[in-house]
Amino acid sequence: MNVLEFQKQKSKTKLSMVTCYDAWSAKLIAGTSVDSILVGDSLAMVMHGHSTTLPANVAMMELHTQAVARGLAGSNKLLVADLPFISYRQDLKTSVRAAGRMMKAGAHAVKLEGAKGNLEMIAHLVDSGIPVMGHLGLTPQSIHQLGGFKVQGNNPAEFERIHHEAEQLEKAGCFSVVLECVPSALAAKITQDIKIPTIGIGAGPDTDGQVLVLQDMLGLNEGFKPKFLRTFMSGAELMKKALNDYDTEVKKATFPTAKESY
Ligand code: KIV
């Protein structure tokens, strides 16, 4: 699915997106019906053990995007890569360079957070042939300003601001926008009022699609249970059982058998 096909799905079939940070899970996702993949800067937390996404940098995002693109070889998944914290807030030249590195690493589009101060740069990226996905609501790169991972757009002024920013992102040329942790009513209104697909995470059922962090939806992120998350597999339990079974068989010397030996 390319960016244009992704856009055409608005109001037709809901779009599915998951994060992915490495080649082997990309290869696995390539064999599923999931539409698109995000190399999210959440990799700083999930893969590198940081407590926020702020430590992600362009080199890190580039390396993981390259790995995911290799894993997706021959598949038709739309691959979006996050521009990390501050990489698109210095000047136009630096932003273009960062976005260019993601595209050369194999991404089909980049995602960046917020509207204020980004609109001119988004238009320039789009004019340079780089499709841009916006991200509004809970924008994790601003976590210290937001005071934590909290629902955004709860009061009328914030509701109006986020709605207006979605319209601005559309006007600047974004092909889609992620809405993270906003009231369902706000996500529904934005989805109705703009022509580009909205992809929700903690934004209720009325967006044009949904995105989840792969490890979260597979139940691999033990103890992480926000209201919006549904786990589609008990991944951590299954993995621990397999590891304990392996350990037991090794200790009992029942693995490997003659059949498993040369
Ligand atoms: O980095 C990320 O994983 C994201 C999604 C949560 C949308 O931005």
Q: Report d(CA 153, CA 137) in Å as an integer.
A: 7
CATH superfamily, domain at 3-231: Phosphoenolpyruvate-binding domains (3.20.20.60)
Rounded distance from Cα 163 to ligand 1 centre (Å) = 20
Q: Which residues contact 87 (CB under 8 A, 6 or more apart)?
A: 57, 58, 94, 95, 98
Protein residue closest via CA to atom 2 of ligand 1: 40
Residue 177 and residue 185 in contact, taking contact as beta carbons nearer than 8 Å? no
What distance in angstroms lies between residue 91's CA and the mean position of ligand 1's atoms?
24
Tens-place pLDDT, residues 114-131: 999 999 999 999 999 999
Which ligand 1 atom sits nearest the alpha carbon of residue 46?
3
pTM: 0.97
| pLDDT for the residue numbered 11 | 83
Span 207-229, average pLDDT: 97
Q: pLDDT > 70: what percent of the chain?
A: 100
So where are the chain's domains? 3-231, 234-262
Count of CB atoms within 10 A of residue 34's CB?
A: 15
Is residue 180 flagged as an active site residue? yes
Alpha helices in 151-252 (DSSP H): 156-172, 184-193, 214-217, 235-252
Considering the chain, what is the average pLDDT of its residues? 97
Taking CA atoms only, the protein residue closest to ligand 1 atom 5 is: 40
- Give 99-113 pLDDT, tens digit per residue: 999 999 999 999 999
Mutate to test the pocket of ligand 1, among 178, 217, 228 (most ligand atoms within 8 A of CB): 178
DSSP three-state, residue 158: helix
Residue with the smallest CA separation from ligand 1 atom 4 is: 40
Residue tagged active-site, from 113, 165, 170, 180: 180
Report which of 171, 170, 208, 202 is spatially closest to residue 188, judged by C-alpha positions: 208
